[in-house]
Amino acid sequence: MTFDRVPSHNRGVAPGHPWWRQAVVYQVYLRSFADGNGDGTGDIAGIRSRLPYLRSLGVDAIWINPWYVSPMNDGGYDVADYRAIDPQFGTMDEAIGLIEDAKRVGLQVLLDLVPNHTSSEHPWFKEALVSAPGSAARARYHFRPGRGPKGSRPPTNWAGMFGGSTWTRVADGEWYLHLFDQTQPDLNWSSPAVIAEHEDVIRFWLEKGAAGFRVDVANGLVKDPEYPDIGAEGVPVPYSDLDLLHDIVRDWRKVVDEYEAILVAEAWVESWDRLANYLRPDEYHQAFEFDFMQAPWDAEIMKGIIDAALIGSSGVGSAPTWVLSNHDIVRQVTRYALPQDVDARAWLLKGDRSLLDPGLGLRRARAAALLMLGLPGSAYLYQGEELGLPEVHDLPFEVLEDPTWVRSRHTRKGRDGCRVPLPWAASGSSFGFGRDGSWLPQPAEWSSLSVEAQDGVTGSTLELYREAIGLRSRYLVGTAEFGWVAAEGEVLVFDRGEVTVVVNFGADPVPLPHGEILITSIPADDGLLPSDGAAWLRPS
């Protein structure tokens, strides 16, 4: 397969518009993207070998999930050394080589900053464990005495994100906080050492050419120093979205500004009123629009979310950052294939499989792509969505690696199903992912979803994404104004400059406005856009 025939569309934007403001960014889940050394796990060599593919998609940048030294208890979000590459992914030379190669073909490289917690294998935590209560080494984390007789009860009633308690007791009787797995102790951001260390880590990677960072758990850095119980009357969640965290971000912003780099927030907050705070001019450049990602396939709900995002972001002089999936959520092809009131995450474990309509899911996912890529702002694609990959919902329990599975005591299946390695070729033991097998098994049906099977095939999902990104760059990037034309019943119609975007969420076909059709997610004969389809056109 060669991709040279497909032009790159990432040619920057109109003057006065920084590249990231309307960028399409491709998320590379490193373990599952491409395996260069044939050990079954994706690596840096794999990404380098697939740069022509990324270029052929026309994206502006890639975001690479954590590649730092890690025991991999949470897929690399448990960092033992922030300044070194985990050997399973390659070497520092290869990392620098990738950043340089990517730049040469017009792709920026964003890295993942994991400031909320370290791994329990990090030297700081090891030092904390052998240091006394009250020591400077413990002050970098949240060590607390327990409650009750002999301090045998955890300091608070907070529940962990993956299930279980957020506290683990150490030999001398103190407890340490971990919002996630017990191998991911939370750092204490009131410690000057923690602040200084992260500033240094940021500079370290910017000096190596990174274009910025996606910031993990951006809403969770600061904890209420009183450690109140959750649910106590009048007390907001004591570990999420506390105002003090914005001071930390402002300091980071000064550093990244020196390098013209960007910060992207993974912030799970209640409303746009709160998310907008992260996008103030001296804070993050982008913050993922997670309401859009989690919305059911419903015109009215989508419109409400789009309006809230456009209004909320423009109020602080920013723009929305759209996303339909990532490595933490059930893939959209599967979400949209279920009745929209079914909780896809819960369904993974023991939901009724007969509820699934894969054809419907793919149809909606393709329409959703044209909706997202038609909106103002930036968009993040999660690897494999351009192939229309579904969630692998039937992974056997024994292969699951997500700590959620164990910590939830087998009540939540976790996120492995959206992390299955990409199929590059239509045949072979791992569909061209690597030489011999992959760390999670790929379904046999992925042969027909492989890059090889879709490349150059008119109407394939891969070609739909390529074409849409190209058209976006041609018509929508720059100054194309947004305006609703109609949002009645189950159809959304909006203008972006000279282009009109139509999305039909309803059951019946709808007539398209007259004009030149640029792209459709589904064949639209006789000027009719079928159910669950989308189109871009230039009205005449």
Shortest reach from residue 112's CB to ligand NOJ, in Å: 8
162/297 with CB nearer ligand NOJ = 162
- Residues 39-78 within binding reach of ligand NOJ (CB under 6 A): 74, 77
Shortest reach from residue 300's CB to ligand NOJ, in Å: 29
Greatest Cα-to-Cα distance within the chain, rounded to the nearest angstrom: 78
Shortest reach from residue 183's CB to ligand NOJ, in Å: 11
175/180 with CB nearer ligand NOJ = 180
Q: Which of 95, 128, 206, 217 binds ligand NOJ (CB under 6 A)?
A: 217
Is 258 an active-site residue? yes
With beta carbons less than 8 A apart as the criterion, state whether 439 and 41 touch.
yes
CA 162 to chain centroid, in Å, comes to 18
Shortest reach from residue 216's CB to ligand NOJ, in Å: 5
198/327 with CB nearer ligand NOJ = 327
Cα angle value 294/536/387 (rounded, 5°)? 55
Please identify the residue of the shown chain whose CB is closest to the bound ligand NOJ: 77
The contacts of residue 217 (CB under 8 Å, 6+ apart) are 114, 115, 116, 117, 179, 266
Shortest reach from residue 433's CB to ligand NOJ, in Å: 20
Q: Which of 186, 241, 289, 328 binds ligand NOJ (CB under 6 A)?
A: 328
- Per-residue HEC secondary structure of 453-520 comes to HHCCCCCCHHHHHHHHHHHHHHHHCCCCCEEEEEEECCEEEEEECCEEEEEECCCCCEECCCEEEEEE
Alpha helices, H only, 279-380: 290-294, 299-314, 332-335, 344-350, 358-374
239/297 with CB nearer ligand NOJ = 239
DSSP-derived 3-state class of residue 255:
helix
CA 237 to chain centroid, in Å, comes to 23
The contacts of residue 167 (CB under 8 Å, 6+ apart) are 144, 146, 154, 155, 156, 158, 175, 176, 177, 178
Q: Which of 180, 292, 380, 382 binds ligand NOJ (CB under 6 A)?
A: 180
The rounded distance, in Å, linking the Cα atoms of 521 and 534 is: 5
25/302 with CB nearer ligand NOJ = 25
- Residues 72-111 within binding reach of ligand NOJ (CB under 6 A): 74, 77
Helix then strand then coil, % of the chain, to nearest 5: 35, 15, 50
The rounded distance, in Å, linking the Cα atoms of 37 and 56 is: 23
Q: How does strand 262-265 pair with strand 212-215?
A: parallel
Catalytic choice (258, 488, 525, 526): 258
Catalytic choice (43, 74, 216, 490): 216
Shortest reach from residue 59's CB to ligand NOJ, in Å: 20
Nearest to 268 by CA among 303, 235, 220: 220
Is there binding between residue 401 and ligand NOJ (CB under 6 A)? Answer: no
| Binding residues for ligand NOJ, total number by CB under 6 A | 8
Q: Which residue has the tokens 């910017």?
A: 206
Shortest reach from residue 74's CB to ligand NOJ, in Å: 5
Residues forming contacts to ligand NOJ in the complex (CB under 6 A) are 74, 77, 180, 216-217, 266, 327-328
The residues annotated with a catalytic role in the active site are 216, 258
